[in-house]
Amino acid sequence: MTNQAPALTRKELFLRAARCEPVPRLPVWMMRQAGRYLPEYREIRAKHSFLEVCKTPDLAVEVSLQPFRRLGVDAIIIFSDILIPAEAMGLPLELGDAGPNLPEPVRTEADVKKLRIFDPEVETGFLMEALRRTVKQAGADVPVLGFAASPWTLACYMVEGRTKEGFATVKEFLYREPKIFRELLHKIAEATILYLKGQIAAGVSAVQLFDTWCGELDLQDYTEFVLPAVQEIIAGLGGTVPVIYYTKASHHLLPAIVRAGANVLSVDWRIPLAKVRELAGPRVAVQGNLDPAVLFAPPEKIRQATLEIAAELGGRGHILNLGHGILQQTLVEHAQLFIHTGQQAALAEAQPAGKSRS
């Protein structure tokens, strides 16, 4: 009779993958997994506004746990919004069905100076309480993830006031007043460090920085303005938990992104994971990166695409995820198929010769 090693918990599995250690299977979760594709979430939203759900711990905990109950994902990400720190820094915030709106945008040096570095337990205590409750309900075996926007992505909203194609106003600010714009990014970074430290104190197992709009910049501007602010945050957290850095439409930025200092680089569906590993090296984990639209495909296509991505890195240092947030019209059973297929993928089976994504 042989003694078998005890099965890893979801938290152990996730943290081992984040550290590029061997795992028996891939951990799998989805960005925006708590959201409108789930009927139980839509029932809550029929009674409460988006911002009300974010700021009511009981509701935030419930919607955070819904995808874990329904899909069996390997990580729970807290339900919140990347613009919550903007409000805490002093900007009025509206979050409706038409998208975010910051009616008093940051456009001048005086506006930057008025922004405050906030106490996360005071200004965003609702989130910290939701995290503590979620961690408690999830138990010791399941990782809970916190998150924040990168300084550049948050600055895009703070300067433009809303999502705008091309972000001309924020770029004009950057080019016209580069010193002041750097001060803005630095101030956001300072606030974000405290905000994420608050989440870590509340019990999260890892945090993710979302840089949704970094792809709007060229390599030079990203390197000169954005990268130092991201590095400041990651260094400021001191390695207390793994940091995942998600970048969208960032193929041209990878030579700089790999220098950010993140433990895990998360990329969209446009980038082969092997390319990220080639540039980042064997000690940086990779997260991703199925195109969310593939979940609209027939089940066999979802299964095939998931298995191809699962095989791309041979199972070492890979957290399986989508390349962006799950789309609202996604069928729940298709999301389940992605999760279960990824969790059951045989890591010993190498990708067939000549089979690769480009």
Q: Is residue 236 part of a domain?
A: yes
Q: Say what the pLDDT of residue 290 is.
A: 98
* Catalytic (active site) residue 45: yes
Express each pLDDT in 104-121 by its tens digit.
999 999 999 999 999 999
* Catalytic (active site) residue 81: yes
Q: Is residue 267 part of a domain?
A: yes
* Catalytic (active site) residue 132: no
Query: For the chain, how many structural domains are there in total?
Result: 1
Q: List the beta strands (DSSP E) in the chain.
A: 76-77, 94-96, 99-101, 144-149, 206-211, 243-247, 264-267, 285-290, 318-322
Check: CB of residue 18 under 8 Å from CB of residue 264.
yes
Average pLDDT, whole number, for the chain? 94
* Catalytic (active site) residue 74: no
Q: Is residue 351 part of a domain?
A: no
The structure's pTM equals: 0.94
* Catalytic (active site) residue 36: yes
Q: Which of 74, 81, 221, 268 is catalytic?
A: 81
Q: Which of 41, 157, 245, 246 is catalytic?
A: 157
Mean of pLDDT values over 7-26: 97
Q: Which of 10, 25, 32, 303 is catalytic?
A: 32
Widest distance between CA atoms in the chain? 73
Q: Say what the pLDDT of residue 353 is.
A: 34
Express each pLDDT in 85-110 by its tens digit.
999 999 999 987 778 899 999 999 99
Q: Is residue 356 part of a domain?
A: no
Mean of pLDDT values over 158-175: 90
Q: Is residue 349 part of a domain?
A: no
Q: Is residue 4 part of a domain?
A: no
Q: Which of 16, 19, 36, 259 is catalytic?
A: 36
DSSP per position, 194-255: HHHHHHHHTT-SEEEEEETTGGGS-HHHIIIIIHHHHHHHHHHHTTSS-EEEEESS-GGGHH
The CATH number assigned to the domain holding 23 equals: 3.20.20.210
Percent of the chain scoring above 70 in pLDDT: 95
Task: Domain of residue 37: give its range.
Answer: 10-344
Q: Is residue 3 part of a domain?
A: no
Q: Which of 16, 19, 45, 107 is catalytic?
A: 45
Q: Is residue 2 part of a domain?
A: no
